[in-house]
Amino acid sequence: MHFYGTSSVNEKGHLTIGGVDTIDLAKDFGTPLYVYDIHLIRQRARGFKDTFERLGVSSQVAYASKAFSSIAMIQLIEQEGLSLDVVSGGELYTALKAGFNPEKIHFHGNNKSPEEIAMALDADIGCFVVDNFYEIELLSRICKEKAKQASILLRVTPGIEAHTHDYILTGQEDSKFGFDLQNGQAEEALQKTLDDQSFKVLGLHCHIGSQIFETTGFIMAAEKMIEKMADWKVKYHFSAEVLNLGGGFGIRYTKEDEPLAPAKYVEDIITEVKMLMDKHQLAMPEIWIEPGRSLTGDAGTTLYSVGSSKHVPEVRNYLAVDGGMSDNIRPALYNARYEAVIANRPDAKAETVVSIAGKCCESGDMLIWDLPISEHQPGDVLAVFCTGAYGYAMANNYNRIPRPAVVFVEDGRAELVIERESYEDLIKHDRSLSRFKEGSER
Ligand SMILES: *Cc1c(COP(=O)(O)O)cnc(C)c1O
Asked if 178 and 225 count as a contact pair (C-beta separation under 8 A), the reply is no
Which of 239, 273, 291 is at the close of a domain? 291
Residues 238 and 307 in one domain: no
Q: Is residue 54 one of the residues assigned to a domain?
A: no
Q: How confident is the model at residue 434 (pLDDT cuts 50, 70, 90)?
A: confident
Which residues form the domain of 127?
108-291
Q: How confident is the model at residue 20 (pLDDT cuts 50, 70, 90)?
A: very high
Which of 232, 260, 291 is at the close of a domain? 291
Q: How confident is the model at residue 170 (pLDDT cuts 50, 70, 90)?
A: low
Catalytic annotation on 127?
Answer: no
Element (H, E) at 59: strand 59-64
Residues 179 and 319 in one domain: no
> What number does the ligand 1 atom closest to the CA of 249 have?
9
CA of 62 to the centre of ligand 1 (A): 10
Write the pLDDT tens digit of every residue in 78-136. Answer: 999 999 999 999 999 999 999 999 999 999 999 999 999 999 999 999 999 999 999 99
Q: Is 161 annotated as a binding residue?
A: no
Q: Give CA angle at 156 (263, 58), nearest 5°.
A: 35
Which of 291, 316, 331 is at the close of a domain? 291
CA of 96 to the centre of ligand 1 (A): 20
Q: What CATH number is associated with residue 175?
A: 3.20.20.10
Residues 250 and 316 in one domain: no
Q: Is residue 72 one of the residues assigned to a domain?
A: no
- Tell me the C-alpha distance between 129 and 203, whole Å: 10
Site to substitute for ligand 1 among 60, 61, 66, 212, most atoms within 8 A of C-beta: 66
Is the pLDDT at 438 greater than 70? The verdict is no
The mean pLDDT value for 323-335 works out to: 96
Q: Is 330 annotated as a binding residue?
A: yes
Q: How confident is the model at residue 162 (pLDDT cuts 50, 70, 90)?
A: confident
Residues 392 and 412 in one domain: yes
Residues 20 and 121 in one domain: no
Residues 166 and 313 in one domain: no
The mean pLDDT value for 213-220 works out to: 94
Q: Is 18 annotated as a binding residue?
A: no
Cβ neighbours around 214 below 10 Å, total: 18
The stretches of 195-215 forming alpha helices (DSSP H) are none
Write the pLDDT tens digit of every residue in 244-276. Answer: 999 999 999 999 999 999 999 999 999 999 999
Q: State residue 19's pLDDT score.
A: 98
In total, how many domains does the chain have? 2
CA of 88 to the centre of ligand 1 (A): 14
Q: Which of 283, 285, 287, 321 is nearest to 304 (CA)?
A: 321
Residues 241 and 322 in one domain: no
Catalytic: which of 143, 206, 360, 361?
361
Q: Is residue 196 one of the residues assigned to a domain?
A: yes
Residues 122 and 271 in one domain: yes
Q: Is residue 234 one of the residues assigned to a domain?
A: yes
The mean pLDDT value for 299-322 works out to: 97
Q: Which residue has the least CA distance to atom 13 on ligand 1?
A: 207
Q: What CATH number is associated with residue 383?
A: 2.40.37.10
Q: Is residue 327 one of the residues assigned to a domain?
A: yes
Site to substitute for ligand 1 among 63, 83, 85, 205, most atoms within 8 A of C-beta: 85
Is the pLDDT at 425 greater than 60? The verdict is yes
Residues 189 and 277 in one domain: yes
Residues 156 and 281 in one domain: yes
- The string over 29-66, giving b where at least 16 C-beta atoms fall within 10 Å of a residue's C-beta and e elsewhere, is bebbbbbbbbbbbbbbbbbbbebbeeeebebbbbbbbb
Q: Is residue 155 one of the residues assigned to a domain?
A: yes
Q: Is 290 annotated as a binding residue?
A: yes
Residues 318 and 261 in one domain: no
CA of 64 to the centre of ligand 1 (A): 6
Q: Kindly give the interhelix angle for 262-279 and 38-54, rounded to the nearest 10 degrees.
A: 30
Site to substitute for ligand 1 among 105, 207, 330, most atoms within 8 A of C-beta: 207
Q: How confident is the model at residue 334 (pLDDT cuts 50, 70, 90)?
A: confident
Model confidence, pTM? 0.96
> What number does the ligand 1 atom closest to the CA of 297 have?
8
Q: Is residue 91 one of the residues assigned to a domain?
A: no
Report which residue type is found at 396. Answer: N
Total residues found in the chain within this entry: 442
Residues 121 and 188 in one domain: yes
Ligand 1 pocket by Cβ (under 6 Å): 64, 66-67, 85, 108, 207, 210, 246-249, 290-294, 389
- Tell me the C-alpha distance between 127 and 155, whole Å: 12
Q: Is residue 115 one of the residues assigned to a domain?
A: yes
Is the pLDDT at 173 greater than 80? The verdict is no
Q: Is 390 annotated as a binding residue?
A: yes
Residue 102, Cβ density class (10 Å: 0-12 exposed, 13-18 middle, ≥19 buried): middle
Report which residue type is found at 131. Answer: D
CA of 248 to the centre of ligand 1 (A): 5
